[in-house]
Structure 1
Amino acid sequence: MTKLLLIADDFTGALDTGVHFVKKGIKSEVVVRKQNRNFVDLTRYLENEVIIVDTETRHIKPEEAFKIICELLVQARELNIPYFFKKTDSALRGNISSELGAMLQVAQEDVHFIPAYPKMNRYTMNGVHYIDGIEVNKSVFGKDPFEPVTESYIPKMFDADICVKLHKNVTEDKASHVIIYDARTDRDIENIVIDLILNEDAHYFAGCAGLAETISDYLPLSKKSATIAVQGDSTFVLSGSLNDITQLQLKYAEDVGIYHYKLTDEEKSDISYYKTNQGKRLLDEIKDKLSQSGNAIVSAGEMGGSIQKVDYSLNREKVGSTLGHLALQIVQNVTGINLFVIGGDTAVSFITQLKNTRITPISLVEEGVVISLIETDHNQFYLITKSGGFGEPDLIVKVLLRLGTWKLPQKT
């Protein structure tokens, strides 16, 4: 019987939150909402204690996101699922106001929003959200050229018709609210969760992976030990992220000698390119590098040239589809491969091009870097994912070291 519905607005978010349940042996499955289809049939997944739905609502209009979340929650309530978790971005990107507003409307009880992720040095004090000690709107996420975070005081992020309160200001009244909690440490989050579940009988939660790690310990879910050995002869790293943090990670990996190919505008935005002789030669070059050294990195690099002038929403779709197609060509033609995808749009574009796919997150390689088992009708392989906006410069190299497909050069 399903006891928790976990809703994320993008694919990497679904994985890096869901993994905290799976690694404790809680039967869980990730479901991706298909493009241009609002309905997700939860009855197909009720054998899982936790259903994790990627609604792909990060970049759509707020009113559309509101409708999708409402319909999903109403369906879940009709199926008597008792607990609900809305995964939010740890940098407060996406349709947070409309999605938590939808949750509040369906719940008719308080929604408890704990946005901090202390392990990533993202915390909330007096309702203000910080990243590495900087208010989020003044951080790298406030400088995003397409979707900057413009507010750090969380109550101001919500529409005026949504009842929002800071926890420290909560008083007894009959109205339901989105209640925002301060938290700076994991212990802060644990204390909040214990109080909400054990003393207040709360059922509606919102937050990022930092909350999932704790709440998975205290919800009434069946836990058991779970270990899976990850094996692979090579790792193909594909990055669709333009974030400055990712660019530093790519440069670090290239500087230590890992092959890194930066796609041209045509190579990253035109699927038909890979039917040409030039496209086939590029695929062969990548496969040769994987065979020779065990690793290869391909990235979308920085936007430039003609593609920069294309409408961003169309550009995201074109680039995502093309990168997903590129990954598919490699995975289907190289045996014993791990696929490491950086950027949620790229990861979900790849997944949606597979047929009859079962997705199970299984463990963390590094904080926020998730390994999932991907099973199709024809094969299975391991997918490693992370969003573009976090991690130290050496993160890609550390992941490859842990996977065992790259080793430190011998000193001479």
Structure 2
Amino acid sequence: MVKLLVIADDFTGALDTGIQFAKRGIRTQIFTECRPESRKIKKDTEVLVVDTESRPMSPDDAYRVVNETALWAVEMGASLIFKKTDSALRGNIGAELQAVADAQPGHTLYFLPAYPEIDRITVDGTQYIQGRLLQDSVFGNDPFEPTTLSYIPDIIRTQSEIPVICLGGTERAQTGTDWMKGQQIAVCDVATAEDMDRRVEELLGDAGLKLVAGCAALADCLAEKLSFHRTIVKKFRKTDSIYIACGSLNKITEEQVEYAENKGGFVRRHLTMEQKLSPAYYSTSEGKRFLDEICSNLQTEKKMIVDTFDIEEEKEKYLHGHNVAKEDVRRLIACAHGCIVREIIERQMDATVLMTGGDTLMGCMRLIGCTQIEPVCEAGQGVVVSMLEWNGRRQQVISKSGGFGTVDILCKTAQKILKENI
């Protein structure tokens, strides 16, 4: 029976959250299909994660799909709904929190967006990234989703008129009073892991808790403190090679890729404009030769990165010359990576595929027609190992958010995954 329903706005977020439960032996399923009738929920599943893919949607569309999912969860009898948000507060934060709150009128939604372990904290209702205001961090210059505000109530109010209050680190939620019963969002300060523990214990002590929101740090705390049936924890398997499909354009990811190439012995290929923005390319003779070359290099070199970083002038010229809309770039890049990964899977290579950015893995799954994935374990903080099944084949994949991890995270992951390191 499903006890907890998690709603994520992208695939990486869904995996980052789901793995917090799966790694403790809690039966967890992740779906990329929003239609309730298409979800085959297993009897022993206690945590269900639904990826609404609503981050790039308009606020109105994001509200609709999240609200429909939350209402379905209420009808299904899930005791707690958890809205997964990005720790850098990207996406339709206000619209989606409003959508979840509207599914349970009269209940406060408690919002804990901090991730103290990676120095993303909330103080006085304001989000800080490594000591800097969110808007002044690397996420303020994100090529797709720049964050221009740091005060969380202001971020919410850009898309919602729901009342928002802030709870200081030592200020207790006034449970059992009329304050709690109004429809509102309570933003909770969290600066340390201990702050997170204290607040979650306080909230779980109230039998009326129905709605929470936050990132993977909150999921980790809930997985530890909620009552679930726990079984044997699964582990990843070692493979001959590791292929990294780098779909993120985040500066943090770019530094990680450069480090892996210069210090980690990775072979690196950069997709041309045609290779990443023309879906028809991979059906041409040239495209097929390119796929042959990638697979051959992966087999011999063992560690390979294919990235899609742009030179802005070249990209603008190509978009204009080939009548490609800017808003289609992310989808086309994900599709290009998906074509390469599909080839690796079809050849049944003994390779682990690591994908950066939720769009990348989602693009691959859409190409092969897979709508469900099973989280297995973590190969490191925020590095989620999963297993997808397609046409009778099982493929080990790893996902990592583009703005997450230390500069050597790709190298460390390879050391764990490759058979040569046994």
CA distance in 2, matches of 1:406, 1:116: 38
Shift of 1:285: 1.7
Aligned partner of 1:70 in structure 2 is 67
- The normalised TM-score by structure 2 is 0.91
Aligned partner of 1:84 in structure 2 is 81
Counterpart residue type for residue 390 of structure 1: F
Is 1:274 matched up with 2:282? yes
CA distance in 1, matches of 2:363, 2:39: 25
Q: Which is further off, 298-307 or 57-66? A: 298-307
Aligned partner of 2:16 in structure 1 is 16
Q: Tell me if structure 2 keeps the 8 A contact 1:74–1:106.
A: yes
Cα distance change, pair 220–303 in 1 and its aligned pair in 2 (3 A): farther
Q: Tell me if structure 2 keeps the 8 A contact 1:27–1:49.
A: yes
CA displacement 1:208-251 (0-9 Å, x = unmatched): 00000000122222123313241322111110111111111111
- Provide the secondary structure at the position in 2 that maps to 1:24: coil
- Provide the secondary structure at the position in 1 that maps to 2:276: helix
Shift of 1:146: 3.0
- Could you tell me which runs of 5 or more consecutive residues in structure 1 were left unpaired when the two chains were aligned: none
Q: Tell me if structure 2 keeps the 8 A contact 1:294–1:406.
A: no
Aligned partner of 1:32 in structure 2 is 32
Aligned partner of 2:194 in structure 1 is 187
CA distance in 2, matches of 1:255, 1:196: 47
CA distance in 1, matches of 2:52, 2:268: 32
Q: Tell me if structure 2 keeps the 8 A contact 1:130–1:152.
A: yes
- The normalised TM-score by structure 1 is 0.93
CA displacement 1:142-194 (0-9 Å, x = unmatched): 11233210110001112352111112476643422111000011111111111
- Provide the secondary structure at the position in 2 that maps to 1:89: coil
Aligned partner of 2:413 in structure 1 is 399
CA RMSD between the two structures: 1.9
CA displacement 1:342-392 (0-9 Å, x = unmatched): 111111101112235541111111111100011223200210011111222
Counterpart residue type for residue 97 of structure 2: L
Within-5 A mapping of 1:100-111: 100-108=97-105, 109-111=107-109
Aligned partner of 2:294 in structure 1 is 286
Q: Pick the aligned partner of 1:45 from 22, 41, 44.
A: 41
Cα distance change, pair 242–77 in 1 and its aligned pair in 2 (3 A): same
Q: Pick the aligned partner of 1:341 from 320, 331, 355.
A: 355
Q: Tell me if structure 1 keeps the 8 A contact 2:5–2:78.
A: yes
Q: Alignment identity in percent?
A: 35
Q: Which is further off, 96-105 or 193-202? A: 193-202
CA distance in 2, matches of 1:126, 1:221: 33
Counterpart residue type for residue 266 of structure 1: E
Q: Tell me if structure 2 keeps the 8 A contact 1:295–1:406.
A: no
Counterpart residue type for residue 167 of structure 2: H
Q: Which is further off, 160-169 or 16-25? A: 160-169
- Provide the secondary structure at the position in 1 that maps to 2:110: strand
Shift of 1:132: 0.6
Is 1:323 matched up with 2:323? no
CA distance in 1, matches of 2:90, 2:388: 27
Q: Which is further off, 301-310 or 172-181? A: 301-310
Aligned partner of 1:61 in structure 2 is 58
CA distance in 2, matches of 1:321, 1:81: 35
Within-5 A mapping of 1:89-128: 89-108=86-105, 109-128=107-126
CA displacement 1:238-281 (0-9 Å, x = unmatched): 10111111111111111133100001000111122122232222
Q: Pick the aligned partner of 2:138 from 137, 140, 154.
A: 140
Shift of 1:116: 0.5
Counterpart residue type for residue 211 of structure 1: L
Cα distance change, pair 43–278 in 1 and its aligned pair in 2 (3 A): closer
Cα distance change, pair 182–271 in 1 and its aligned pair in 2 (3 A): same
Cα distance change, pair 382–209 in 1 and its aligned pair in 2 (3 A): same
CA displacement 1:29-87 (0-9 Å, x = unmatched): 11003xxxx63337621521111101000010001111111111111111111111110
Is 1:223 matched up with 2:230? yes
CA distance in 1, matches of 2:371, 2:134: 36
Q: Tell me if structure 2 keeps the 8 A contact 1:341–1:383.
A: yes
